[in-house]
Amino acid sequence: MDERKYMPLRGLPADRGGRSPSGEGGMIDAQLSMVRASSTAEAVAAITVDAAFHAGGTELLNWMRLGISEPALLVDLGQVEALRGIARSHDSLRIGARATLNEIGQNDEVRKNAPALSQACLKAASPQIRNRATIGGNILQKTRCPWFRAEAPGQTAMPWPCNKRMPGSGCAARESKFSKLALYGASEECAATQPSDPAVALSALDAIVEVSGREGARLIPMTEFHLTQSEAGSAVTETTLRQGELVTGFRIPIDAAAQRSAYLKVRERESFEYAMVSCAVALRLEGEIVRAIRISLGSVAQKPWRLRQAEKELLDVRLSTGAVDAALVRDLSEARPLPGNEFKPLLAGNAVRRALQIAGERS
Ligand SMILES: Cc1cc2nc3c(=O)[nH]c(=O)nc-3n(C[C@H](O)[C@H](O)[C@H](O)COP(=O)(O)OP(=O)(O)OC[C@H]3O[C@@H](n4cnc5c(N)ncnc54)[C@H](O)[C@@H]3O)c2cc1C
Ligand code: SF4
C-alpha cells in the first residue's frame, strides 16, 4: 500500500448541473480517503465495513453522487497486477477481475472460445465506458430501477418508497408501468432486475467466480453468485459475496458448447442502452442433435436466469423450432409478470429462439 490520500468531496455538485431534485443545492458533503493496494492481500487487509473497493469507478462514483453509497475509504485496485489479464490454459480461460469490458470483448481467445462473453461485453454501455468498466465491477452493478437510483445525497428520507434503498419504506415500482422489472424470483418487497450483460454470458458458460477474503480464497459458481429477492429474503442482499471479499477473477471452462455460444440483447435502441431482455446460449450439436445446452436469460430476475427445464427437454433432441417451442412452455409459464412487463415472457421466448438459431448456424 503506497499512499493514503484525503479526498475532500465537500462542495462537489451532486449532478453535472450542480442541482438537487428539490433545487436546494444538492452538494455532496463527505470526507473520503483512498488507499492504493498493490496486491490482493493488501486489498483484502485494507477493506473495512465502511470502505469500498474501487476498480473503474463507473458505478461506485455514481452511487456516491446519488447518495446510494457513502464509503469513508476507497481501496483502489488499479495497481493489483494479479487482477489483470486474460489467459488460456488447455481447458479453460482465466479472466482477471480488473480486465475491462473492451479488453475482454476484443480478446481473440475469448472470441474463439467463449463468443457469448465477447459479444455481451461489446454490447454493454458505450466504447468510452467499456474502456474503464471492469468485469468484476460489472457483475456487482446494481439495478437501474429509477426509484432506487433517485438522487438523494445525504438525505435521511427518500423522495419515494424503495425497500432496496431504505428498507421498510415500500416499493414504488411494483404498481408502476416500469417494464424492466423481474419475471422470476421477485418478492412483495422488491422486483428489481440485475442489468449486467456479461453476467448472463458467464452464467450460460458455467463460469466460476474466484474470490478472496480474510478467511482465504474460495470459488463460487456464477449461477450461485447472484440471489433473487426470494432467495435472499431481503430487498438489499443481492449476492453470496461476503463482506470484504474481493472478486479476483473468473474461470470459464472451454468446451464445444462454449465455443458455439451466442449472446442476444433486446433493447429499446441499438447502442448505449440496457437490455429489456437478453439471452445467452451455449450449444453442442452432433449433426442436428443437441448434446449439450445451457440457456440463460438476462434482465428478467435479480440474477441471470437459467432455463433448466428447457435445457433438460432439449437434450438429445433434434434442434427445431417445434422442439424449442415445446421445451420453453414450462419455464415461461413460471414467469410472474407485473402490470408494466406483461409482454416480457413473449419477448424472452423469442430471444431464446433467435439466440439458439444464431448458435446453431455457427460453424
Ligand atoms: C452510462 C452507463 C451505461 C452502462 N450500460 C451498461 C450496459 O448496457 N450493460 C452492462 O452490463 N453494464 C452497463 N453499465 C455498467 C458498467 O458496465 C459498470 O458500471 C462497470 O462494469 C462497473 O465496473 P467498474 O470497474 O467501474 O466498477 P466500480 O464502479 O469500481 O465498482 C462497482 C462495485 O463493484 C465493487 N467492486 C469492483 N471491483 C471489485 C472486485 N474486484 N471485487 C469486489 N468488489 C468489487 C465496488 O466496490 C463497487 O461496489 C453502464 C454503466 C454506465 C455508467
Ligand atoms: S423494485 Fe426494488 S429497487 Fe425498485 S422501487 Fe421497488 S424496492 Fe426499490
Task: Please report, for the domain that includes residue 354, its CATH number.
Answer: 3.30.465.10
For residues 99 and 41, membership in a common domain is answered with: no
With a 6 A CB cut-off, is 338 part of the ligand 2 pocket?
Answer: no
What is the per-residue pLDDT for 158? Answer: 82
What would the pLDDT profile of 10-59 be if each residue is shown by its tens digit?
444 433 333 333 333 344 446 899 999 999 999 999 999 999 999 999 99
What is the per-residue pLDDT for 152? Answer: 85
Residue 211 lies in a domain: yes
For residues 12 and 103, membership in a common domain is answered with: no
Q: Which atom of ligand 1 is nearest to the CA of 273?
A: 8
Residue 182 lies in a domain: no
With a 6 A CB cut-off, is 194 part of the ligand 2 pocket?
Answer: no
Domain boundary among 31, 50, 76: 76
Residue 181 lies in a domain: no
Residue 146 lies in a domain: no
Q: What is the CA radius of gyration of the chain?
A: 21
Residue 143 C-alpha to ligand 1 middle, in angstroms? 11
Residue 323 lies in a domain: yes
As a whole number of angstroms, the longest Cα–Cα distance in the chain is 66
What is the per-residue pLDDT for 4? Answer: 53
For residues 117 and 218, membership in a common domain is answered with: yes
What is the per-residue pLDDT for 188? Answer: 97
For residues 201 and 53, membership in a common domain is answered with: no
Domain boundary among 76, 102, 123: 76
Is the Cβ–Cβ distance between 152 and 69 less than 8 Å?
A: no
Q: Which atom of ligand 2 is nearest to the CA of 165?
A: 8
Q: Among 128, 122, 97, 92, which Cα is nearest to 107's?
A: 122
Q: Which atom of ligand 1 is nearest to the CA of 267?
A: 8
What is the per-residue pLDDT for 8? Answer: 47
What is the per-residue pLDDT for 326? Answer: 97
Burial 53-78 (b: 16+ CB within 10 A, else e): bbbbbbbbeebbbbbbebbebbbbbe
Residue 32 C-alpha to ligand 2 middle, in angstroms? 28
Tell me, yes or no, if the pTM score tops 0.85. Answer: yes
- Closest-lying ligand to the alpha carbon of 138? 1
- The grid coordinates listed for 149 are 437510483
Residues with CB under 6 A from ligand 1: 52-60, 77, 97, 124-125, 129, 133-134, 136-138, 140-141, 195-198, 246-247, 274
Residue 140 C-alpha to ligand 1 middle, in angstroms? 6
Residue 326 C-alpha to ligand 1 middle, in angstroms? 37
What would the pLDDT profile of 170-211 be if each residue is shown by its tens digit?
999 998 999 999 999 999 999 999 999 999 999 999 999 999
Q: Is 270 helix (H, G, I), strand (E, B) or coil?
A: coil
Domain count, the chain: 2
Residues near 140 by beta carbon (within 8 Å), at least 6 away in sequence = 59, 239, 241, 247
For residues 132 and 10, membership in a common domain is answered with: no
Residue 184 lies in a domain: no
For residues 59 and 125, membership in a common domain is answered with: no
Residue 232 C-alpha to ligand 2 middle, in angstroms? 15
* Atom 48 in ligand 1: residue holding the nearest Cα: 60
With a 6 A CB cut-off, is 228 part of the ligand 2 pocket?
Answer: no
Residue 317 C-alpha to ligand 1 middle, in angstroms? 39
Domain boundary among 20, 43, 76: 76
Residue 42 lies in a domain: yes
* Atom 31 in ligand 1: residue holding the nearest Cα: 137
**Where residue 55 sits, what CATH number does that domain have?**
3.30.43.10
For residues 330 and 280, membership in a common domain is answered with: yes
For residues 129 and 204, membership in a common domain is answered with: yes
What is the per-residue pLDDT for 16? Answer: 37
- Grid-cell match 437510483, residue found: 149
What is the per-residue pLDDT for 153? Answer: 79
Residue 163 lies in a domain: no
Residue 12 C-alpha to ligand 2 middle, in angstroms? 27
DSSP 8-state assignment for residue 81: G
* Atom 15 in ligand 1: residue holding the nearest Cα: 138
For residues 59 and 137, membership in a common domain is answered with: no
Note down the domain range covering 208.
84-141+193-361
* Atom 2 in ligand 2: residue holding the nearest Cα: 190
Residue 58 C-alpha to ligand 1 middle, in angstroms? 6
For residues 38 and 97, membership in a common domain is answered with: no
For residues 330 and 202, membership in a common domain is answered with: yes
- Closest-lying ligand to the alpha carbon of 54? 1
Residues of the chain with pLDDT under 70: 1-30, 363
For residues 93 and 205, membership in a common domain is answered with: yes
